Amino acid sequence: MLQIYNTLSRTKAPFKPAEPGRVRMYVCGMTVYDYCHLGHARMLVGFDVVQRWLRASGYAVDYVRNITDIDDKIIRRAVETGRRIGEVTEFFIDAMHADERALGVQPPDHEPRATQYVAEMLDIIGRLQDKGLAYQADDGDVNYAVRGFEGYGKLSGKSLDDLRAGERVAVGSAKRDPLDFVLWKSAKAEEPADTKWESPYGLGRPGWHIECSAMSKSLLGLPLDIHGGGPDLKFPHHENEIAQTEGAFGGVLANVWMHCGPLMVDADKMSKSLGNFRTIRQTIASGEQDGAEDGQPRAEYAANPREAEMLRFFIVRNHYRSPQNYTPDNLLDAQNALDRLYQTLANVAADDLGVDWDEAQAQAFKAAMDDDFNTSGAMAALFQLAGDANRGGSARTAGQLKALAGLLGLLQQDPQTYLRAPTRYKPGAADAARADALDDAAIDARIAARAAAKRDKDFAEADRIRAELREHGIELEDKPGGQTNWRRV
């Protein structure tokens, strides 16, 4: 039986959805004011694997991942660039979708935008006000009265005393309590007109936390089977979601809370101020790293297929709850490991019969995934299959490898095409990226010249060509029957 670690209970327990056979999962998505970074990649890929395994396990999954398309940072970006809010959000939504496609992230079943659910947010605020859990302050903002909700802090493990004024929440003079958070922000005169909605509290816009309460309740009902998100959302965002939803409707918001671990850069938190901030497209884009060859920003870009799958592999090989450290050496290790799996599939043709769940490594894979989505354990089964395939040359074993990896969104490219793609994450990659680097046609021509030299018994020339290709990062493999395969290393 599938077991999941629940952040709320701090224990791992058998997963039992409210409705047998159906999973209602809500994951907090992006605030679309900038390109997605590597921390976003970890969340996107992590919960993509979760929903893939739930479906593979026979569940009917209703997966909702929202978009925050109204927020202070979005407004700031619109004002700075002189664009309308909708222009900013559409651009970065398109950019996010480009990143998802590059990483093999399947789209959620529903992708609601916050601006589509303002009426539902106002309904929840009204319910909270009727119950004495919300009030309109002198500055026009509507705030949540945190001390009126008895269970506040149960997700993060923080007591109200831990959250005393000035430590984690800025003191606002209009609030009754410095811990209270905003549900509805009163409009400011200088703010753009497209950031304001009519409400019983005057012109304004929703606070961030109320958005997810409205979207999750509207699309999935209560309780959710799984509510997930990044590690930084546990407090205050998810804590405030619980207070809002449970305060308004009673019961529980979600039966299981899941949070992926942090992604670090050289053991430091990724931050623009530290100069270690990297976007997804900077990491995997072909050509210009931001996809802007003419100096103008682009939402769409061409991803390097080898590097894109390497980044997904890098994320998946770690357990989703564990901290993960992004370093050049770790990326190189991921690239080398993924290359070995593809080399197996290049050496041994895989059948397409799907997974044989009675086979030993398939059972080991399933046991690992059923243990709180332990992808690192599942990876061990894949490498065991690769070793077996290399030793025995079995198409069935290679087919098992490919089919099981497919459940993680891996190893679905043509092996030869993958291995011939360039990559920056290898020794000598800088040389391979030079303007005079060999293209596929030049490589094939040299291989043909080498074959001719071997026929003429000019083995010195054949060796010289092999050495020349190796200097360009091209490794040759002579196969029975005179065929020569090549790959970039």
> What residues are designated binding site for Zn(2+)?
28, 212, 237, 241
Q: What Rg value do the Cα atoms of the chain yield, rounded?
A: 26
Please report the sign of the dihedral spanned by the C-alpha atoms of residue 337, residue 343, residue 348, residue 351: positive
d(CA 462, CA 478): 12
E-assigned strand segments in 238-315: 254-259, 263-265, 268-269
SS3 content of the chain, % helix, strand, coil (to 5): 45, 15, 40
Cis ω on the peptide bond leading into residue 206 (within 30° of 0)?
Answer: no
- Name, in order, each residue with C-beta under 8 angstroms of 225's C-beta and a sequence gap of 6 or more: 15, 17, 18, 22, 23, 24, 25, 254, 255, 256
Residue type at 145 in one-letter notation = A
151 in Cβ contact with 236 (< 8 Å): no
Q: How far apart are CA 303 and CA 108, in angstroms?
A: 21
Residue type, 472: H
Pick out the residues of the known binding site: 28, 212, 237, 241, 272
- Residue 27 bridge partners (DSSP): 65, 228
User: What is the phi-psi region of residue 13: left when phi exceeds 0, alpha when psi lies from -120 to 50, beta otherwise?
Assistant: beta
DSSP secondary structure, 202-246, as one string: -SEEE-HHHHHHHHHHHHH-SSEEEEEE-GGGIIIIIHHHHHHHH
Cis peptide, bond prior to residue 323, ω within 30 of zero: no
Quick count: other Cβ atoms within 10 Å of Cβ 16? 11
Helices 360-370 and 375-392, axial angle in degrees (round to 10): 170
Alpha-carbon distance 66 to 32, whole Å? 11
d(CA 450, CA 439): 17
- The secondary structure element, H or E, covering residue 487 is strand 484-488
Amino acid found at 10: R
> Phi and psi for 272 in degrees, rounded to 5?
-60, -35
C-alpha to C-alpha distance for 351 and 348, rounded to whole angstroms: 9
Q: CA 73 to CA 423: how far, in whole Å?
A: 34
Binding-site sequence positions for ATP = 272
